[in-house]
Amino acid sequence: MLERVIKYAFDNIGNTFSGKNVADYFKSQQRKIDLNTVYNYLNALEGAFILYRVPRYDIKVKEILKTQEKFYVGDISIMYATMGNRDRMIGGILENIVFLELKRRGYSVYVGKLENSEIDFVAERQGEKIYVQVAYKLENEQTTEREFGNLLSVNDQYPKYVVTMDDFWRDSIEGVKHLYIRDFLLKENL
């Protein structure tokens, strides 16, 4: 069961879920697992630094929410060793890389909630704050609108970034900066 919980968590990197989601998934697969067991497994994986739990933060109300957090892997290679290489995981892996870089830089990291939209990361450090959206590619106008639009709806003056694998796309939109993943990782000050 532990192996299956790990695979479920790895398969859902970048998606919000809770222990109840995991238990419900197993129930749909005709497998019974106690909710407390799921939480114990997730807590053990956090204690071993295999997973990081990232709470949701309501940007408007300025409080941490208790449900639908995200989990990220402490080392991407563990995910590849367990799950293999799957193209559909690229977006989640990219988001995981950005998360780990924010943690490495000393930020406290949250998943932002703003009414019905989500900001991938709200990162705070010593009174400063940044907002980061992560997307594999800005392939069309709808994706560009969604990624930049979520950040444009945040009404404060903190820096806002959209990080992607598009190395040719250099535009900023209304103060929201686009960064190629390499530039984000190498940028000294965000």
pLDDT along the chain (190 residues), means of 10: 90 86 86 88 94 90 78 93 84 95 97 89 94 93 91 92 89 92 92
- Report CA-CA distances (Å) from 70 to 15, 26, 27, 67, 155: 6, 19, 21, 9, 24
Query: For the domain 51-186, what is the CATH code?
Result: 3.40.1350
Q: What is the pLDDT of residue 163?
A: 96
CA–CA distance, 168 with 52 (Å, rounded to integer)? 32
- 125's enclosing H/E stretch is strand 117-125
Helices and strands (DSSP H and E) totals, the chain: 7, 9
Q: Which two tokens stand for residue 91?
A: 């977006």
Helices 19-28 and 35-47 sit at what angle, rounded to 10 degrees? 130
Give dist(CA 81, CA 49) in Å, integer. Answer: 16
Q: Are 8 and 74 in contact (CB under 8 A)?
A: no
In the prediction, which pLDDT does 171 show? 80
